Amino acid sequence: MPRRLLVLFLVVIMLMSASTPALALALDLDPSTKAVLQVQEVMDYIYRHHIDKPELNQLSEGAITGILERLNDPYSEYLSEDILEEYKEMLDGDFVGVGLRLQENGQYTQVLDLIPDSPASRADVRPGDLIIKVNGENIAGLFLDEVVSKIRGPEGTTVTLTVRRDSRDIEVILKRTPLSSPTVVSSKLSGNIGYIVVHSFGSQTADEFAVELDRLVSEGVKGLVIDLRNTPGGYLQAAVDMAGDFLPDKSLVVTTVDRDSIRDEYRSRGNACWNDPVVILMNELTASASEVLAGALQDYGKAVLLGDTSYGKGVVQSIIPLESGGALKLTTARYLTPKGRSINGTGLDPDVRVLTQELQLILAKNIVSPAAETVVKFSLIDKKASINGEEIPLQAAAYKAGGVVYVPLRFAMEALGYSVSWNEDARSIDLAGKNENIRLFANRASAVINGKDAALEASITTREGLSYMPLTAAIPGITVVDRSDEVTMVKAGRK
């Protein structure tokens, strides 16, 4: 045998001999211990022999990340001690930051709201601004949590944001400071209606909610709007406790089911203190504990849900502290509404679908305190409309062409109590009201109104990216008054 082949043969024999006892030992172990040993053995070889001399913490974090990724579960994650503390502080409204509440909006992240007296509010950052750059880095296409992590940082440090407002880019330098923001904020609206915004479901949220609700009751409000739009959730127990303000004692609020089909029931405590109308505002970012509260009140008929379909996070995570530090946020159960509905991946459907954000609160108030009629006015000279006297800015104005008045279709019909949806099969825009169904066709001067064909003087058209409808069809129950500078649509009663 040539010397080179002999050396290679001896090396292979040595390697096999060295590994054989470990393999034999592993074969006698239970599967979980064997798996742990395998990971430990791979990490040990990499740490001792890889040419790049990796650090142990680098390898352990990589191993944890890899294990969690194989679950294909976006909600299970490892939380370092720092991140765990930030997570708890965020839910309770206490954290170091610049005072921005953000939402995803296409390519860029958008400012949803600002914490009062925060660095962002003092720098004149405004709701609706788009975050274009963070510290000079363009953030186009990044997920919301990625943008948030870039904006966050240690207390006393600064972050430079480039925000876009009305096609103009503005650069602001913000100093990260400790902030404290209540998780629940309330106010009294016109018409003697209470309005409560829940930002998150923290450890004190149920108590804060009860205090604000009691205050509104003492002020004599006769209806309530709870705003859960863009509320990502938090602690399950907070939602259960808040449901107790509306449900009789020991009412089933939510059921959790673990992987062994073991069920745990969470029930309300105390006596319901609210019996007047309730509307819950929600959208596609209403998630988790928010959906627990909304789903329970919907099942019991205690609240009308208005807005868009919710996020659909129907699973429960447990925070498991690790002896080595940090914690594991692990999905351990699915939850069901009181009627046994699972909403994971599907969300809660609203009772009243209204996708136009500017209309949602106005229409919620009209459900709580119904008006005798709905009067929608469109200016023909600027981008403004009003509903029962309450003015709303528009993306694009109503207009007149060829003697026909065109109004923004979705805005107009949602304002009048119709749901608006696109029917792919019929290639039509379908309007659904109470005992009313209307089908309109793009680029076609005809409609189907309550099953009967109707001719129109003009067809739906598109302008500035919005669909416009001609006010020439005899839509049941709607009166149109056309003046030189405005057009008025009137519908009696509620949807």
Range of the domain at 34: 17-69
Q: What CATH number has the domain bearing residue 115?
A: 2.30.42.10
Same domain, yes or no: 137 and 198: no
Q: Tell me how far apart the alpha carbons of residues 429 and 440 are, in angstroms, rounded to a whole number.
A: 5
* Model confidence pTM above 0.85: no
Same domain, yes or no: 204 and 277: yes
Q: Which among 377, 324, 343, 323 is positioned nearest to 61, based on CA atoms?
A: 324
Q: Tell me how far apart the alpha carbons of residues 439 and 37 are, in angstroms, rounded to a whole number.
A: 65
Amino acid at 382: D
Contact 252, 267 (CB under 8 A): yes
Q: Which among 131, 288, 293 is positioned nearest to 206, based on CA atoms?
A: 293
Distances (CA, A) of 381 to 221, 399, 471: 38, 8, 17
Same domain, yes or no: 281 and 418: no
Report the alpha-carbon angle 295-266-301, nearest 5: 30
Same domain, yes or no: 291 and 394: no
pLDDT, tens digit, 9 for 90 and up, residues 207-234: 999 999 999 999 999 999 999 999 988 9
Overall number of domains in the chain: 4
Contact 160, 134 (CB under 8 A): yes
In a domain, 5, yes or no: no
In a domain, 448, yes or no: yes
Same domain, yes or no: 175 and 244: no
Give catalytic residues, as residue numbers: 288, 299, 313
From first to last of the 495 residues of the chain, give the pLDDT tens digit: 554 444 343 333 333 344 444 444 555 678 888 888 888 899 999 999 999 999 988 898 889 889 999 999 989 999 888 888 877 877 887 788 898 888 777 788 999 888 888 999 999 899 889 999 999 999 998 877 788 889 988 889 999 999 999 889 999 999 999 988 889 999 999 989 999 999 999 999 999 999 999 999 999 999 999 999 999 889 999 999 999 999 999 999 999 999 999 999 999 997 787 889 999 999 999 999 999 999 999 999 999 999 999 999 999 999 999 988 889 999 999 999 999 999 999 999 999 999 999 999 999 999 999 988 999 999 999 999 999 999 998 888 899 998 889 999 999 999 999 999 999 988 899 999 888 899 998 878 888 988 899 888 788 888 888 899 988 766 778 888 888 899 999 998 754
